[in-house]
Structure 1
Amino acid sequence: MYRLVRDFIVSLFIVIVLLPTYGWSSQTVEEARIDQAQQHIPNQVNKYHSLIATFTQSLTRITNYSQLVALIDRTGDQLWQQSVSDNQAGALYDDRALYWGRLQLTQHLKNTELQFQITSSQLNHALLRLELASRGALQATFKYNTTHKVFITGFDPFQLDSNIRQSNPAGVTALMLDNTIIRDGNKTIEVQAINFPVRFADFDKGIVETALTPVLSTNQADLVMTVSMGRSVFDLERFPGLRRSSSAPDNLNVYSGGSYSQPIRPLLNGVELKGQEFIEFSLPVQAMLQVQQPFAIRDNRRVISLTGVYYPESLSELKGEISIEGSGGGYLSNEISYRTLWLRQQMRSTVPMGHLHTPRLYGYNQPMLKKIVQQIKTIIKKGV
């Protein structure tokens, strides 16, 4: 049932929502960084060279579009699964090879001459299938007979123009915990995970809602937690805000369009998101706050509205305010939190859900990443 719901929503998302507005034919800003990454972190860029080479060779042999889609689904899933397997088997704590490998696959798909004519619409469809498959989004189903089931999400590395070596603890956590079982006494906790792009356009076109709707519709999850990189410690972001205000660009060097003086609503399928200005998470916060080592963890209530900075005890105190920043800020970290909680409301789900900001990482630091992931495992144990 989960698979049928997921496949239908993914197909609808691609055909109706994304295809008319995405332009994938030219080199993207993200792909343009590959050469620089090759100079500074060649091991990560080249890690999946064999898979990429096999994909490119296969592209030259296929003779129709249905074969292309099958190849893309298979290769994208292989990239995700191989990255998960390599990280977990080798205790790598490294999300960068996955990120740079995906970008090389999209480059080759656009630049390899095929044996058949392909329309721009078909190419866009193919690129989006590759995007979703290589993020775990086509295989994120609960598989095991466990007492509890947890779904988490991560993000790609970002701020790469500042540091091309950058990793993201959220993406690392997704790779290290995907398809694992955490044991805690008589509890067995299955974890499934996916990663999201750091791109405003994908959020505007509904990628979050597309990925999370099947999870919520089956009522299998006991906990859903979105994760991103944040400040100096762990933060449980209690009151996400509706609007974008960040001045930071995304991975395509596109800006949010909002500011502190004029925060803007994000889009959903071409229409402004119409939810309330602030929303409250439903995480088991008191249990999670017990995990104070090695990093502190906070119940972060700080928000900013057009009238000032607030630390509300309840959501009712924010009635009538216009959001500038939620507890998670004014960028995509706050937005994924808001969108998932808003979707939970629309679907009348009772699954505990909310956002966790990890400590900030500068560049790549494997010992720190290991500590972050291990602490998140303990937070999950307490949460269920």
Structure 2
Amino acid sequence: MTRRLRAVMTLTLGLTLLALPAVAHAQPARCFDPNAPTTVEEQRLDDRLTPTGPEVGPELARLGGFDDDVSRFAARLCEPISRAQAFHHALAGGTELWRTAVRRAQSAQTWDSYDDRPLYWARLLATKALRQWQPSGWRLGAADRAKVVDAFDRASRGVSDLRFADGVRRVAVTGFDPFQLNGPSVRRSNPAGAAALRLDGRVLATPSGPVVVEAAVLPVLWGAFDQGIVERFYGGALAFRPDALVTVSQGRPGRFDVERWAARWRGGYPDNNEVAARGAVPDAAGWPQPAHEFIETTLPHQRLVDAGTTPFPVFFNRSFCEWPVGVPPGTGTPSCRSDEPTPGAAAASGSGGDYLSNESMYRANRLRLGLGATATAGGHLHTPVLGQPADPAALTDPVFEQDRRAIADQVAALVSVI
């Protein structure tokens, strides 16, 4: 379907992106309650960089070409729709959004195809619409609404869109949403998410033959991790007996790190909903959960370091922190070293820290070990930090775009080495 035809369809439905209460809080459509509660993430949709500038999230969704997709999705909610159709619509709409984002990321014909932010904000526009939706003729209870929102969210991340090909090596990869979005940082991007979109479904040429990659983008939310989103994706991937699992996130300035240790500990830093979590990593219901304080990478770390990928240097990071034996975890001062964890000591942080990046590595590899997939390698890559456009009122600039492109391309090069 051409963009022109899609625009005509949207106009016919009478529900443009800017008319949605979930977008600009203009004249509310009959099937949305603008007073219904939304998440902290969704409340950032009206953030601006300047008092007279556009709302950042909706503007990035528009620039990325997702305005028609969000409008069609919301317009369908205002048509007669049953409870069962609502779940199907959410699942289908999320899947369509993900596949559109992947096609966009891998096309040279779109506005800044490496930009991960349009998908992030389009997803929030849709989930906000679902939270404020008032079905005609029946009531959507809180539990059912949560299921519908979750179905859309997971599908729009690629979690339920695994399509591994036969006869080739397979690698499963995850990136992350943008984070630290308060204030002027609402325009942040995450190169790990950009890399995942660029990689999903691609077949990479490697010295060992072709490798097909399936990817997803994880939320920066403790609650979603508690509900098992990491296990859902990698559990589905492990059914195909992949050669490797690679979690990817944004890490330190100016360098890539292959992290040696994942730790069973959350340090308490707030997530994208301003929720903090501290303590041992919880189990995910329904999945095997072997007890490990630390899990060591099995990625070919020296090969990744020596591969000569550019432009950033690649290091093998051996650091970790532990609570001394006999000291209750979370009390006192942890011991930080780069040798081997002490038998019986509780983990305080992995090589990649104690935030959700460390936890993605821990959960993916705890599951890998729990399912006995010892022939599958697993580990984590931290990318260089991506800065922000130089002009505080700008959504993008050439240096910002070039840096994100360089990081995402180097992630692909490193995945090819595995």
Q: Normalising by structure 1, what TM-score?
A: 0.85
Maintained 8 Å contact 1:156/1:171: yes
Equivalent of 1:363 in 388, 393, 412: 388
Unaligned regions of 5+ residues in structure 2, if any?
Answer: 1-35, 49-53, 325-334, 390-399
Maintained 8 Å contact 2:290/2:370: no
Taking only aligned residues, the RMSD between alpha carbons, in angstroms, comes to 2.0
| 1:375 to partner: Cα distance | 1.3
- Correspondence 1:28 to 2:39: yes
Give, in whole Å, the separation in 1 of the partners of 2:59 and 2:44: 15
Larger radius of gyration: 2
Maintained 8 Å contact 2:178/2:190: yes
- Correspondence 1:68 to 2:86: yes
Give the number of the structure with larger relative contact order, counting CA–CA contacts within 8 Å between residues 6 or more apart: 1
Give, in whole Å, the separation in 1 of the partners of 2:180 and 2:243: 33
Instruction: Kindly report structure 1 stretches of 4+ aligned residues shifted beyond 4 Å.
Output: none
The residue aligned with 2:99 is 81
Q: How does 1:278-293 map to 2 (within 5 A)?
A: 278-292=294-308, 293=310
Maintained 8 Å contact 2:73/2:93: yes
Equivalent of 1:213 in 228, 235, 239: 235
Q: Identity of aligned pairs, percent?
A: 32
Give, in whole Å, the separation in 1 of the partners of 2:128 and 2:294: 39
Give, in whole Å, the separation in 1 of the partners of 2:189 and 2:104: 16
Q: Which amino acid aligns with 2:180?
A: Q
| 1:36 to partner: Cα distance | 0.7
Q: Which amino acid aligns with 1:92?
A: S
- Correspondence 1:310 to 2:337: yes
Give, in whole Å, the separation in 2 of the partners of 1:213 and 1:124: 22
Give, in whole Å, the separation in 1 of the partners of 2:121 and 2:275: 19
Equivalent of 1:181 in 191, 199, 203: 203
Maintained 8 Å contact 1:226/1:354: yes
Give, in whole Å, the separation in 2 of the partners of 1:185 and 1:241: 32
Unaligned regions of 5+ residues in structure 1, if any?
Answer: 1-24, 259-263
| 1:274 to partner: Cα distance | 6.7
Give the number of the structure whose residues are more often helix, by fraction: 1
Query: What CA deviation, in whole Å up to 9, does each residue of 1:16-40 have, x standing for no partner?
Result: xxxxxxxxx6211000000115534
Residue 62 to residue 339, structure 1, CA distance change in 2 (3 Å):
same
The residue aligned with 2:407 is 372
Residue 111 to residue 40, structure 1, CA distance change in 2 (3 Å):
closer
Maintained 8 Å contact 1:278/1:318: no
SS at the partner of 1:279? Answer: strand
Query: What CA deviation, in whole Å up to 9, does each residue of 1:180-226 have, x standing for no partner?
Result: 1112367211111001110011111222112211211331x111100
Q: How does 1:1-384 map to 2 (within 5 A)?
A: 26-36=37-47, 38-40=54-56, 43-46=59-62, 47-90=65-108, 92-117=113-138, 118-142=140-164, 144-162=165-183, 163-184=185-206, 187-219=209-241, 221-232=242-253, 233-246=255-268, 248-256=269-277, 258=278, 264-269=279-284, 275-292=291-308, 293-307=310-324, 308-312=335-339, 314=340, 317-350=341-374, 351-363=376-388, 365-383=400-418
| 1:145 to partner: Cα distance | 4.0
The residue aligned with 1:8 is none
SS at the partner of 2:257? Answer: strand
